[in-house]
Amino acid sequence: MADEQGGLFKVPLCACGCGLPTNQAKRTDNRHGYKKGEYRKFLFNHAQHAARKNKGAPYTVDEEGCWVWGGELNTRGRPYMRLPGTRSKKAIAYRYYYEQAKGPIPEGFHIDHLCFNVKCVNPEHLEAVTPGENYQRRDTRWKKNEEE
């Protein structure tokens, strides 16, 4: 396949590991995290293949120990998943992983990512905090990044 300049363009392969080339999205779909004209990460229904190969975990572990979500994203770019044992009930993935490891999230509390990676679902990198503390930490991180 040639690109606009006449050079070769490599079509991305499906992230499930099947080796098949992905196709371009025909429309923008924020829920699934792709835009019109961009190549998709997975072929249709292949995200489930990746989860099965990864022993039920649709994430990859990076060098910092983050479990980086590779499944669906909601409209705000947050990891999104269908709850096990249900047909249609969905939840934010990092909240589900936190509750499985550490118990219920107190009412009104937010989940803060200590690793600063919103796609991380590693319960060791998550902490339940009050909304005020979460906003304060966010502002502190922004100021720290601006100083660097």
Q: Are 33 and 41 in contact (CB under 8 A)?
A: yes
Instruction: Report the alpha-carbon distance of residue 140 to residue 129 in Å, rounded.
Output: 15
Handedness of CA 30, 95, 87, 89 (dihedral sign): negative
Structure confidence at residue 1 (pLDDT): 45
For the chain, the domains span 1-55, 57-147
Residue 3 pLDDT exceeds 50: no
Give the number of C-alpha atoms closer than 13 A to the C-alpha of residue 19, restricted to the C-beta side. Answer: 0
Q: How much is the pTM?
A: 0.59
Residues β-bridged to residue 91: 81
Average pLDDT over residues 10-17: 68
DSSP 8-state secondary structure symbol assigned to residue 24: B
Instruction: Report the alpha-carbon distance of residue 40 to residue 114 in Å, rounded.
Output: 30
Structure confidence at residue 128 (pLDDT): 95
CATH among 2.60.40.10, 3.60.110.10, 3.40.50.300, 3.90.75.20 for 57-147: 3.90.75.20
Structure confidence at residue 75 (pLDDT): 83
Note the pLDDT tens digit of each residue in 95-130.
Answer: 999 999 999 999 999 999 999 899 999 999 999 999
Note the pLDDT tens digit of each residue in 30-76.
Answer: 776 778 888 877 766 666 555 555 445 588 888 889 999 988 888 88
Token couple for 70: 């590779």
